């Protein structure tokens, strides 16, 4: 019991939870934009994986993590553009195209990592170091938790504020939400549904790319096959738990990551709990919360419905 108490009162637990939440949060935030416009983007996992791979490739080629981040975002945006073209322009099934892109990204990154680096031995690359701002990092308890973090944490804080403002306080956000509720009526009012949905899918790709790039450039500093570990699918559940709200997506992502951080701490402690149970804990908790929430939140009325302009 005392060991469990030590874990829950440790600042390291909550600092780790924030770091672990970042990939899920960025992907979920991007999905909020896509789904608010009526698109279901199941291809989050592929976008994150391509961004993680591109981040390592760019950093390895140039020695600059910033160039790696840019290349990772480009890779993610390419996947997003393919998804937008199939789902928006061709009117294809959004679920099927997303799954196809996930499978493609999984196979392509595995192949390229072996083709570029002999035997798939991907090297450690230059990444983004942990920031340690003076004064702020010295604040008791909160300092190590909130401020001894990667640059991506600060980007996430700005992203959630800008996203909330854009979706709820701008004319563009109003048009975007209208497309997700009734695209035909929106089109009749002069809103270019095709353009809005393309915009949201590209935003989704960029944000999911940030999540993938964090894994490779802000956390592990290398690339491994399927390193996203299903976080793109968790992000889909997070969006529903968060009721399609950017602010609520923060707390929903932290729920998953806190469970993951706790499981990791338990495995490195003297607490005797099955390792398999600890590995499954964050996913089980997320599914339980999802099962409780689903059906009690109002999703966009036209979510997942193909719209073809007449």
CATH code: domain of residue 212: 1.10.3470
Whether 300 is in a domain gets the answer no
Sign of the torsion formed by the C-alpha atoms of 256, 257, 261 and 264: positive
Whether 306 is in a domain gets the answer no
pLDDT for 282 equals 84
| The dihedral formed by the CA atoms of 212, 213, 216 and 221, expressed in degrees to the nearest 10 | -170
Residue 275: which H helix or E strand, with range?
Answer: helix 275-293
Whether 304 is in a domain gets the answer no
Whether 230 is in a domain gets the answer yes
Whether 308 is in a domain gets the answer no
Whether 45 is in a domain gets the answer yes
**Tens-binned pLDDT, residue by residue, of the chain (310 aa):** 566 676 777 888 898 999 999 999 999 999 999 999 999 999 999 999 999 999 999 999 999 999 999 999 999 999 999 999 999 999 899 999 999 999 999 999 999 999 999 878 899 999 998 887 777 777 877 888 888 888 999 999 999 999 999 999 999 999 999 999 999 999 999 999 999 999 999 999 999 999 999 999 999 999 999 999 899 999 999 999 999 999 999 999 999 999 888 888 887 776 777 777 777 888 888 888 888 887 777 889 999 888 877 6
> Which residue in 278, 254, 262 sits closest to 7, CA to CA?
262
Q: State the residue for tokens 């698109």.
A: 39
Instruction: Report how many domains make up the chain.
Output: 1
Whether 302 is in a domain gets the answer no
Whether 11 is in a domain gets the answer yes
Task: Give the distance from CA 132 to its chain's centroid.
Answer: 24
DSSP at 148: S
Q: Which tokens go with 28? A: 């979920």
| The dihedral formed by the CA atoms of 107, 290, 304 and 230, expressed in degrees to the nearest 10 | -10
Residues 6+ apart with CB under 8 A from 276: none
Q: What is the DSSP string of 52-95?
A: HHHHHHHHHHHS-HHHHHHHHHHHHHHHHHHHHIIIIIS---HH
Cβ–Cβ < 8 Å for 243, 299: no
What residue numbers bound the domain in which 91 lies? 2-293
Task: Give the distance from CA 65 to its chain's centroid.
Answer: 19
Residues 6+ apart with CB under 8 A from 290: 237, 240, 241
């Amino acid at each position: 019991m005392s060991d469990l108490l030590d874990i829950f009162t440790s600042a390291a637990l909550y600092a780790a939870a924030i770091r672990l939440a970042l990939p899920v949060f960025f992907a979920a935030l991007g999905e909020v934009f896509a789904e608010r416009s009526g698109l279901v983007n199941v291809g989050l996992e592929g976008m994150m994986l391509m961004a993680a791979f591109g981040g390592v490739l760019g950093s390895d080629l140039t020695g600059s993590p910033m160039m790696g981040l840019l290349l990772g975002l480009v890779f993610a945006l390419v996947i997003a553009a393919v998804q937008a073209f199939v789902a928006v322009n061709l009117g294809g099934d959004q679920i099927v195209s997303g799954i196809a892109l996930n499978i493609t990204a999984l196979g392509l990154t595995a192949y390229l990592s072996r083709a570029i680096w002999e035997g798939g031995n991907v090297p450690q690359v230059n990444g983004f170091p942990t920031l340690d701002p003076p004064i702020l990092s010295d604040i008791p308890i909160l300092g190590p938790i909130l401020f001894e973090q990667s640059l991506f944490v600060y980007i996430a804080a700005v992203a959630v504020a800008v996203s909330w403002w854009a979706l709820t306080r701008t004319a563009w956000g109003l048009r975007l939400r209208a497309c997700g509720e009734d695209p035909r009526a929106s089109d009749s009012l002069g809103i270019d549904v095709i353009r809005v949905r393309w915009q949201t899918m590209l935003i989704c790709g960029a944000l999911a790319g940030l999540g993938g790039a964090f894994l490779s450039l802000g956390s592990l500093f290398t690339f491994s096959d399927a390193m996203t570990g299903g976080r793109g699918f968790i992000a889909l559940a997070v969006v529903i738990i968060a009721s399609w709200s950017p602010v609520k997506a923060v707390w929903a992502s932290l729920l998953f990551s806190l469970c993951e951080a706790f499981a990791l701490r338990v495995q490195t402690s003297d607490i005797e709990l099955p390792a398999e149970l600890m590995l499954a804990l964050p996913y089980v908790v997320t599914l339980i919360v999802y099962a409780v929430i689903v059906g009690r939140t109002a999703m966009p009325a036209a979510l997942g419905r193909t719209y073809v302009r007449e």
